[in-house]
Amino acid sequence: MSAQKNILLLGSGFVAEPCLEYLLRSGNNRVTVACRRAEKAQELTSKYPGSTAISLDVEDDAALEAAVAAHDLTISLIPYTQHARVIKAAIKAKKHVVTTSYISPAMEELDAAAKEAGIVCMNEIGLDPGIDHLYALKIINEVHAEGGKIKSFESFCGGLPAPEASNNPLGYKFSWSARG
């Protein structure tokens, strides 16, 4: 049996619940869900034993650094505009961090410091970006393995919600914030 891991999950939006449920499947993980409004995090964690809720303003550097330092891993599902701040806290605490966003210039600037701290900083780990990149690379490699050549490649990504959640004229739900 592997050792218990303490995971900090930043955010409580659409993606947080499936992430929380998945993380708790092994029984070895304890997850702290953190967001600005404690009641939002509590609403989510009340359904999952092994999880706790905290209120955390990620713009409060001292509070963010303390929360990151108290966990083995931080998963950031908050707006991409905050990910560099989260990565800085992870570097300071020498803790691993995962985000779902594209690598911004501010995040890229932290690469050497993350390596020096000996932490893994995984970005673009979602559907788009993330899974779409893996499948694109798989397809490209298969074409090359057969002696083919890629002249052009376009990728479109999206998803449809379950029918019971498809309650708007477009039948689509965003799982991310268009505003960042």
Q: What pLDDT shows up at residue 50? A: 93
pLDDT, position 3: 85
pLDDT at position 152, please?
A: 85
Whole-number pLDDT of residue 14? 79
Q: pTM score, two decimals?
A: 0.76
Instruction: Supply the pLDDT for residue 56.
Output: 97
Report pLDDT for 180: 47
| Cα first-last separation, the chain | 39
What per-residue string of b and e applies to 33-47 under the rule 16 or more CB within 10 Å gives b? bbbeeeebbbebbee
Residue % of the chain over a pLDDT of 90: 59
Would you state the torsion angle of the CA atoms of residues 83, 87, 90, 96, taken in this order, to the nearest 10 degrees?
90
Q: What separation in angstroms does the CA of 10 have from each of 53, 142, 145?
A: 10, 37, 40
**pLDDT tens, residue by residue, 126-173:** 555 556 667 778 888 899 999 999 888 776 666 666 677 777 776 666
Catalytic residue among 57, 61, 72, 128: 128
- pLDDT tier, 79 (very low <50, low <70, confident <90, very high otherwise): confident
Catalytic annotation present for 72: no
Provide the pLDDT for residue 36: 92
Q: What is the pLDDT of residues 88-123, one digit of tens each?
A: 999 999 999 998 877 889 999 999 999 999 999 988
